[in-house]
Structure 1
């Protein structure tokens, strides 16, 4: 495994580095409040949010290849593990923090395995439609989880429906001052996103809330604050957990792994295409692995290639990982010199910041776009979102994967099939393969739109038989346009051999055209080529049609 270090920084130039350094300052001003807020979702101590943008950020800048991807705390992965780990240990406890660190290490291990065996293609199994629904569901779940903190109401449950019940049951705890402050922060941030997207409204809200809280003693007035935040560098230590706990954490680590692979790969590709840059996906997977290992040993939690934070970096003018390194340097300064004032930060302010992030995750525009183009995929996205809200994030991501695979198999099981048939002018044109029609007297040209395998072989065989049996005249030649068929498995091979022999006994010659080298290899291996013979396999469709007789030459040339 050859390492290419600092790919996301090279080539360096003085002007570009200065621009990226300034972008890093802007990025830090917008993102520090966010990573502090993510600790509310992760149920971790507030300072660990800063840890996620220190060593992990530096690790990815060294080992990754993307010049744009920001690897840090992420709401989706935080929601995945917090729901799974809180039953194992009290939120924020020493044991919980240790389990979270071990989870990050396990996730790093899975990412390393993915890099060694080049399993980055697994990201493709989470369809964009399903991912949109999943993130929308996470947005609803996180938003509801933050309502308690914004209203001053305890919501000890970790399931969304139970949290809604807690809001009603403990409604007597509602605090008007807390709610008023939350409403002010949410309104300011949402308006800032609308009218001044590059202005660090969240940072101003945090700094203003800290100053007013310290001056007016918010804690004494009944507004909860986060309390003392330890300063200095994070302690470097190996996470500890029993074998039984490690086994229990593996499914959650797998869920985080899938989300990291899917989100990071999609985000990296978007910006690589936008700026016409070369992307090494294997290097990015390695960078994500090292970043999560760095998070594990520094007391942080799982990190991910964040789409929202990467978009923030891009809008700030960042064009290389120099910006992320400057961001990490500023976080280091905060840890060393400025954690003291954080103790006055009202908890409702952090909850409000996370609530606005959750609102942004509810992708109404994306769902509308899906609905316009495909109602079936829209229902799939909505179902995934509902599963996250009603079942849970970890189960939701597993369901998202299953639904994506089912969708893929469904398309492969029931692909589009066509045949050439005369149109109103008499010219041959592609039409749906409907029994009772033919291309020309004695000829059917048929196209199957997917690879042939055990799940769709019966559909192929039955449709071919129906087309032959119900043709207007006896079919002498049946040509399969195999352009879309690149693979033929054992089961399909046996069925096609039987079909070819049966049709030959009926006096119908079956030929395959546009046969790729991959399909030809499978045909040879499964005995299909031996039955067809060399005369029955063609590289081009027009050659096969021309071979059926000179009388068709004119029609072939018109195609």
Structure 2
């Protein structure tokens, strides 16, 4: 397996280096407080949130192909850790830290197995429609989650619907100074993004907020700050967990694995589509495996491809993985020298920065385009967005995959079927199949636009018989235009054999036109050519028509 390294970094020139280097610094200014919050969600010491942005982004940049996906701490996997491990050890204790590190290592192992077995194709089942809905739902979820800090209202749940209820109940307790500062910060960022998108407005706002908080003692005026953060680099090493405690961690790692695969692939695909790029999902899985292994040995916890942080990086101007390397270097500088000033950052400023990013993730333009072109797919996008926002990313992304698969299965189960009729130009005009249609007296040319399998074979047979039963004249020949049929499963073959016998009983001849090698091989394998003469299979529609219009039964083989 030949590895292609640094695919998401280059090509580099002076402009790209400056652009992505500054974007990484801007991303750090927005993301450092956020990863501290994720550490709190995971039940870890706050400083471990910074550790997730130290080695993991660099490891991902080395192996991955995505130019945009940002890998760091994530709320979904952090919540999985807290919910699963708090019963095994006290959150924040040395034993808990070891368990969390082992989960990251096991998750890396599962991701490596997924790469070895090339399971990246699973991401192909995420349609663009549900990707738009997914990102919109994540934006809504994050925006609502930020409202508590922006309003100064305490909320004890991460479920979006319950958060809204608690916020509504607590409106009488809104902290005035916090709300005013939040509104000002959000307005500055949104206006700056509109009129000066290339300037690091968010970084300037964060630095100004830290300085103002220190100078004017925001904490003393009721504006909450994030508090002290320890300095220094982590102690590197493998987590010390005995074998008997490792086995119960496998289901936890499995849950993280599913969320990481689905969410990272969905996010990478969204931004690749936006910039008309191609993504090697298998390479990204390897990058995610390396990132989680690095997190495990670097005193951190499970990392994931984050839609909100990827949107932050894009908004800061990042167009390649060099921004993640710059991000990691900036975090290292902060750990060594700048954790002191970080304690003055108001929580509401952090929440406002993230809120502005979340608003941008709500893809109104994409939803409008889907609505205008395909209203049924617009409904799928809305369901996906609602599921992500209401049930959480981990459940919403699984629903997104299920909806994509169901849409594909529905199309295969009920494909477009046509009766071909001659037009005024001497060609064929496809008309949606309906009882009472025929191609010419005694002949029906029928097009079936999907493979035949257990779910749609019965519909195929029923429609064939209905067309024959209601034809204006007795049908002598029924020709299936089979260009779209390349596969038959066992159940479909049995349905076809029953149909052939029924048509023979009715003295109706059936033939197949535009038969490919795979369809013929399947018909041979399932014994259908023992019932249907091979001379009724034709490589072209012209050949089939020439044969069936002869008075004798055709014998021409493919």
Q: CA deviation at 1:37?
A: 4.5
Structure 2 distance, partners of 1:281, 1:139, is 23
Q: CA deviation at 1:232?
A: 2.3
**Residue 35 in structure 1 maps to residue 39 in structure 2:** no
Structure 2 distance, partners of 1:523, 1:37, is 63
Structure 1 distance, partners of 2:59, 2:129, is 31
Aligned residue in 2 for 1:555? none
Contact 1:486 1:519 in 2 (8 A): yes
Q: CA deviation at 1:205?
A: 1.0
| Secondary structure in 2 matching 1:386 | helix
Q: CA deviation at 1:171?
A: 3.9
Contact 1:482 1:514 in 2 (8 A): yes
CA change 1:371–1:169 in 2 (3 A) is same
Q: CA deviation at 1:311?
A: 6.7
Q: CA deviation at 1:458?
A: 0.4
RMSD: 2.9
Aligned residue in 1 for 2:16? 20
Aligned residue in 2 for 1:262? 266
What is the TM-score when the length of structure 1 is the normalising length?
Answer: 0.88
Structure 1 distance, partners of 2:137, 2:279, is 30
Aligned residue in 2 for 1:557? none
Q: CA deviation at 1:490?
A: 0.4
Aligned residue in 1 for 2:202? 202
Q: CA deviation at 1:222?
A: 1.7
Contact 2:155 2:166 in 1 (8 A): yes
Q: Count the aligned residue pairs.
A: 539
Structure 1 distance, partners of 2:147, 2:527, is 65
CA change 1:71–1:235 in 2 (3 A) is farther
Q: CA deviation at 1:318?
A: 6.0
Q: CA deviation at 1:399?
A: 2.4
CA change 1:361–1:97 in 2 (3 A) is farther
Structure 2 distance, partners of 1:96, 1:148, is 28
**Residue 69 in structure 1 maps to residue 68 in structure 2:** yes
Structure 2 distance, partners of 1:243, 1:279, is 34
Aligned residue in 1 for 2:255? 251
CA change 1:214–1:242 in 2 (3 A) is same
**Residue 332 in structure 1 maps to residue 336 in structure 2:** no
Structure 2 distance, partners of 1:31, 1:415, is 47
CA change 1:280–1:364 in 2 (3 A) is closer
Q: How far does the alpha carbon of each residue in 1:309-346 deviate from its partner, in whole angstroms, 9 at most, with x for none?
A: 66776787766544443343333223222222101111
Structure 2 distance, partners of 1:527, 1:290, is 50
**Residue 403 in structure 1 maps to residue 403 in structure 2:** yes
Gaps of 5+ in 2: 552-558
| Secondary structure in 2 matching 1:356 | helix
533-542 vs 174-183, which moves further: 533-542
| Secondary structure in 1 matching 2:343 | helix
210-219 vs 257-266, which moves further: 257-266
Q: CA deviation at 1:69?
A: 3.0
| Secondary structure in 1 matching 2:380 | helix
Q: CA deviation at 1:541?
A: 1.9
Aligned residue in 1 for 2:554? none
| Secondary structure in 1 matching 2:548 | coil
Contact 1:445 1:481 in 2 (8 A): yes
Contact 1:83 1:393 in 2 (8 A): no
Q: How far does the alpha carbon of each residue in 1:242-299 deviate from its partner, in whole angstroms, 9 at most, with x for none?
A: 533442453343123211223224534664x45xxx7644323212221222233324
Structure 1 distance, partners of 2:272, 2:113, is 20
| Secondary structure in 1 matching 2:165 | helix
| Secondary structure in 2 matching 1:532 | coil
Contact 2:30 2:206 in 1 (8 A): no
CA change 1:455–1:427 in 2 (3 A) is same
519-528 vs 344-353, which moves further: 519-528
Q: How far does the alpha carbon of each residue in 1:397-455 deviate from its partner, in whole angstroms, 9 at most, with x for none?
A: 23222222222211111111111013467753111011111111221111111111101
Structure 1 distance, partners of 2:14, 2:198, is 18
Structure 2 distance, partners of 1:265, 1:387, is 19
Q: CA deviation at 1:195?
A: 1.0
Structure 1 distance, partners of 2:314, 2:358, is 20
Structure 1 distance, partners of 2:483, 2:302, is 44
| Secondary structure in 1 matching 2:531 | helix
Structure 2 distance, partners of 1:126, 1:362, is 18
Q: CA deviation at 1:204?
A: 0.7
Contact 1:83 1:394 in 2 (8 A): no
Gaps of 5+ in 1: 552-559
Aligned residue in 1 for 2:457? 457
Aligned residue in 2 for 1:363? 363
| Secondary structure in 2 matching 1:338 | helix
| Secondary structure in 1 matching 2:226 | coil
CA change 1:402–1:106 in 2 (3 A) is farther
Q: CA deviation at 1:213?
A: 0.9
What is the TM-score when the length of structure 2 is the normalising length?
Answer: 0.88
Q: CA deviation at 1:8?
A: 3.9
CA change 1:218–1:323 in 2 (3 A) is closer
CA change 1:442–1:361 in 2 (3 A) is same
209-218 vs 27-36, which moves further: 27-36
